[in-house]
């Protein structure tokens, strides 16, 4: 199966003088599980509606497998949508809902029955065919919506925050099911969500949107570990933001944070001060006396099950968040405890400049601690 390549070219949608989607270029490979991630109002839903054919773009084009579909109405695109609120027809049974699209396509009776049976089995609703949607749970209704879209074998399946109305446990379960389903049917999935964890769990690649603009696109690990903008850094989970002074060095440059100096690789930034980010799980806590590290006091402890989150305050008014796994090796610490904090230069991300993100430093150690 190679169908389902989706290309957006310079896609723009303006309402008055507000651009909901702003010159968006994207290429979704055939068969990919692709997520469009961003806060509400970032333009992800508008993008989906344009691809589905419900909103026509102000400018730009939409291609599916090389064919320009920008001007086709929704019923003439090989694209189907799983709507956020399911949008099941209340006056039809589950079977009739699933058969709705096949009937519109005038599929023969025997094939219709076979395909409906097949897809109901795929979503594990074989015994629910004669129920009304209102008699099903939220998760089951969601599966009917999936079956109804998948039965038409679309080239691209659009999913508009399909799990947002479900409780956390059901959401986890359906995330796993959706991934399996994607592997089984091989169709291109374009998944809209505002939940970065959900996007990372499920996707092959993620596009992060803000204010209608594409911030970054890449594999989950890439977007999480090498965010290219301040927005992506802060949106993809928790990040510590640090101000650093740029000092010259023989090789690379030196970042001065408070009293500590770190040897950084790559060409030095142009400006005198820069913003660095570091993930809480890369902030390592040591005993009170260990050498070669920053020294601070624990001001807050949050136990979150798999890990314990600490807030550590330093003398310069700076605080850092550290996530320490509860793996039996690390002991749980208390508020007020004095700790040393170990940071490696290669874990720093320079915000707004790309050279660090491309080539992390090789030499690691802290140059000096004041």
Partner 1 sequence: MTTDSKRKGIRLPRPLAIFVWAYMVWNLLPVVAAMAFSFNATRSRSQWQGFSTQWWSGTPLSLFDNEEYTAALKHSLELAAMTTVISTVLGTLLALVVTRIRGVAKRPVNFILMIPIVTPELILAVGLYLSLTFITVWPFSVVELGTPAQVVGQVTYTVGFVVVIIRGRIAVLGDGLEAAARDLGAGPIAALVLVLFRLLMPAVLVGAMISFAFSIDNFVITQYLSSDSSTVSIPMYLYTNARGGNTTPALNALATVLVVTTLLAVALASLLYRWATRRESVASDVTGTVALSA
In angstroms, give the least distance from the CB of 208 to partner 1: 26
Q: Is 72 in the site for partner 1 (CB under 8 A)?
A: no
Q: Name residues whose C-beta falls within 8 Å of residue 355's C-beta, 6 or more positions apart in sequence.
A: 266, 267
Q: Is 87 in the site for partner 1 (CB under 8 A)?
A: yes
Cβ-defined contacts of 162-171 (< 8 Å, 24+): 162/82, 162/83, 162/84, 162/191, 163/193, 163/198, 164/84, 164/193, 164/194, 164/195, 165/84, 165/85, 165/138, 166/138, 166/139, 166/142, 170/138, 170/139, 171/198
Tokens encoding 227: 């965010």
CB 208 within 8 A of CB 44: no
Which stretch in 70-78, 115-123, 244-252, 344-352 sits in contact with partner 1 by CB under 8 A? 70-78
Which stretch in 11-19, 31-39, 51-59, 122-130 sits in contact with partner 1 by CB under 8 A? 51-59
- Cβ closest to partner 1, residue 87 vs residue 265: 87
Residues 91-120 that bind partner 1 (CB under 8 A): 91, 100-101, 104-105
Other C-beta atoms closer than 10 Å to the C-beta of 238 total: 11
What gap in Å lies between CA 277 and CA 6, rounded to an integer?
34
Q: Is 74 in the site for partner 1 (CB under 8 A)?
A: yes
In angstroms, give the least distance from the CB of 49 to partner 1: 9
Q: Is 89 in the site for partner 1 (CB under 8 A)?
A: yes
Q: Is 83 in the site for partner 1 (CB under 8 A)?
A: yes
- Residues that bind partner 1 (rule: CB under 8 A) add up to a total of 26
Taking the CA of residue 217 as centre, how many other CA atoms within 13 Å lie in the half-sphere pointing to its CB?
A: 14
Residues 140-199 that bind partner 1 (CB under 8 A): 148-149, 152
In angstroms, give the least distance from the CB of 79 to partner 1: 8
- Cβ closest to partner 1, residue 50 vs residue 283: 50
CA angle 282, 284, 290 (to 5 degrees): 150
Binding-site ranges for partner 1 (CB under 8 A) = 52-54, 73-75, 79-81, 83, 85, 87-91, 100-101, 104-105, 132-134, 148-149, 152
């Amino acid at each position: 199966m190679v169908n389902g390549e989706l290309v957006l070219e310079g896609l723009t949608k303006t309402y008055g003088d507000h651009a909901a989607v702003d010159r968006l270029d994207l290429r979704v490979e055939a068969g990919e599980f692709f997520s469009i991630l961003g806060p509400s109002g970032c333009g992800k839903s508008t993008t989906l509606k344009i691809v589905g054919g419900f909103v026509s773009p102000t400018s730009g084009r939409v291609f599916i497998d090389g064919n320009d579909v920008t001007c086709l109405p929704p019923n003439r695109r090989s694209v189907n949508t799983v709507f956020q609120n399911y949008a099941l027809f209340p006056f039809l049974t589950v079977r009739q809902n699933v058969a709705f699209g096949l009937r519109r396509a005038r599929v023969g009776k025997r094939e219709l029955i076979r395909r409906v049976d097949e897809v109901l089995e795929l979503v594990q609703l074989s015994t629910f065919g004669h129920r009304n949607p209102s008699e099903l749970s939220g998760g089951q209704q969601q599966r009917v919506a999936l079956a109804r879209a998948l039965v038409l074998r679309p080239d691209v399946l659009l999913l508009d925050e399909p799990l947002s109305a479900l409780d956390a446990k059901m959401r986890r379960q359906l995330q796993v099911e959706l991934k399996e389903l994607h592997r089984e049917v091989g169709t291109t999935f374009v998944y809209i969500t505002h939940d970065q964890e959900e996007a990372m769990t499920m996707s092959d690649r993620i596009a992060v949107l803000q204010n209608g603009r594409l911030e970054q696109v890449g594999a989950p690990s890439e977007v999480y570990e090498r965010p290219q903008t301040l927005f992506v850094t802060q949106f993809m989970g928790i990040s510590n933001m640090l101000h650093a002074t740029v000092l010259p060095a023989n090789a690379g440059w030196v970042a001065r944070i408070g009293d500590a100096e770190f040897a950084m690789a790559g060409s030095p930034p142009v400006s005198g001060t820069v913003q660095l980010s570091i993930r809480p799980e890369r902030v390592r806590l040591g005993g009170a006396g260990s050498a070669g590290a920053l020294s601070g006091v624990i001001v807050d402890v949050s136990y979150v099950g798999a890990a314990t989150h600490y807030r550590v305050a330093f003398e310069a008014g700076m605080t850092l968040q550290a996530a320490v796994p509860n793996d039996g090796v690390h002991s749980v610490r208390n508020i007020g405890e004095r700790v040393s904090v170990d940071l490696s230069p290669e874990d720093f991300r320079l915000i707004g400049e790309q050279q660090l993100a491309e080539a992390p430093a090789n030499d690691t150690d802290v140059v000096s601690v004041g």
